[in-house]
Amino acid sequence: MFFVTYLRRELRRRMRQAVFIALGLALGVGLVVTVTAASAGIKKAQSRELSALYGVGTDVTVTGGNPGKPTSPGQPPGIGQTVNNVTPSYAAIGASKLAQVASLRGVTAADGVLALGDSTITLTAGKPPTFNSFTIDGVDTGHLSSGPLSAGTLTSGRAFTAADANVDVAVVDSGYATSKRLKVGSALTIDQVTYTVIGIVRQPQQGGTPTDVYIPLARAQAISTTGYGRQTNDVNTVYVSVASAADVSAVSHELSSLLPGATVTTQSSLASEVTGSVATAAKLANDLGRWLAILVLIAAFAVASLLTVAAVTRRVREFGTLKAIGWRTRRIVSQVLGESAVMGTAGAALGIGLGLVGAAIIAAAAPKLSEKIPENTGSVAQVQSAGAGPLGGSTYHTVSFPLHPSLTVGVIVLAAVLAVAGGLLAGSLGSWRIAKLRPADALSRVA
């Protein structure tokens, strides 16, 4: 009880010093909270965009390499003729390889997809050629829990069932359906075969350009263009679900060894290709912001320590007298550490408040961030019109979003621990000064 009474009295007597120390710690801690919240907000936003494109952090996407040039180029259309080509977007991945992928340790599911591009060219006398194209994904109708349709929302009609495996039916993306005026029950021609639209699906738009048309995998495998050969029983994209995020790296290495010509994409590898203001902001928050926060913390701790040591020096007579009347050094040190802990706690409370204010200011005043996300294109027309080079190349999809700093309980606890630790550090340095003090020093200064 005496400990608390003495502590309260000393803090009240030295109120100005206590306020300065608490404010110094609060400024350092507040900056840490603000920078950490902003950095976490940027990472969360980036993760959300990448998830929309390639799934959650425990997903891996494998695409076959460049399918190469056809062995026979095919005949160009003549005047008044229409030529239709359905070409694979990537090189084939055989059924045996798909089975090996599914059996890898840490893999919970491996769903194969055959990505195709349908292009039609029509030449009319006296008119420029007419070019039309759309993308196709052949999906396993018996396994839809992962893969390109797993993130979609059915807006009308129905989804695929296992009974549709060998039926000429299609599910169409809502954007493509609107542009082509398609609805449930409409007829859609692919490679001179008429498919019936059974469902309209809305895919996440912020992550990239969704595939236009989805058909059963067996029907897609039956489609080919002269020169590429039919990819019967083959796929060219594999959506791999991994049991744990900790296994993603190991699974990725195994996939690269098993399929040396394929491209293995994870959320972390995709993040390294992201460009734009979000990537710049993330780098600034991680590098400049982190070091700035550390420097301010060091300065705050140094000021608190200097003020505490100076206060101990001014209290030499007091502490020496207490030693002379029988107080042990341990008791005096605990008193000083108690005062420092109270100032650190006050600094933690103020710092967290300042951090919350800083995060709110960033959320209100920060401009929208943008990022350019690489997206694999499955259509010859898309690749060529974008100037992305050879078939199966990459273009970039730009998205923008507001910055919302993310505060977690962990950040708040870290801020409190840092402030209290800073106060105790300052108290420890003052205690070291007290430990060297002898009663005679105090008596020699008594007037």
The rounded average pLDDT for each run of 10 residues, N- to C-terminus, in the chain (447 residues) is 72 79 82 79 66 58 76 57 77 88 90 88 73 89 83 90 93 93 93 92 70 92 63 82 84 90 77 56 60 74 78 73 77 81 86 85 72 47 31 51 73 81 80 67 54
* Opening angle at CA 89, ends 219 and 128, nearest 5: 100
Q: Does 166 fall in a domain?
A: yes
Q: What is the 8-class DSSP label of residue 441? A: H
Q: Is-contact 227 72, C-beta < 8 A?
A: yes
Are 210 and 95 contained in the same domain? yes
Are 166 and 37 contained in the same domain? no
Are 156 and 247 contained in the same domain? yes
pLDDT value of residue 195: 95
φ, ψ of residue 48 in degrees (nearest 5): -65, -40
| Region at 131 (left for phi over 0; alpha for psi -120 to 50; beta for the rest) | beta
Are 187 and 319 contained in the same domain? no
Domain boundary (265, 285, 310) is at 265
Are 282 and 144 contained in the same domain? no
Are 281 and 309 contained in the same domain? yes
pLDDT value of residue 270: 62
Are 259 and 288 contained in the same domain? no
Q: Does 409 fall in a domain?
A: yes
Q: Does 383 fall in a domain?
A: no
Are 117 and 201 contained in the same domain? yes
Domain boundary (245, 265, 285) is at 265
pLDDT value of residue 407: 75
Are 151 and 25 contained in the same domain? no
**Bridge partner residues of 187 (DSSP):** 196
Give DSSP secondary structure letters for 138-199: EE-TT--SSSTTTT-EEEEE----GGGTTS-EEEEEHHHHHHHT--TT-EEEETTEEEEEEE
pLDDT value of residue 308: 77
Residue type (1 letter), 166: N
Three-state DSSP state, 435: helix
Domain boundary (220, 238, 265) is at 265
Q: Does 391 fall in a domain?
A: no
Number of domains observed in the structure of the chain: 2
Q: Does 285 fall in a domain?
A: yes
Q: Does 381 fall in a domain?
A: no
User: What global pTM score does this model have?
Assistant: 0.56
| Region at 229 (left for phi over 0; alpha for psi -120 to 50; beta for the rest) | left
List the domain range (segments joined by +) for residue 433.
Answer: 2-50+277-366+402-445
Are 115 and 228 contained in the same domain? yes
Are 145 and 239 contained in the same domain? yes
Three-state DSSP state, 77: coil
Q: Does 209 fall in a domain?
A: yes
Are 65 and 38 contained in the same domain? no
Q: Does 188 fall in a domain?
A: yes
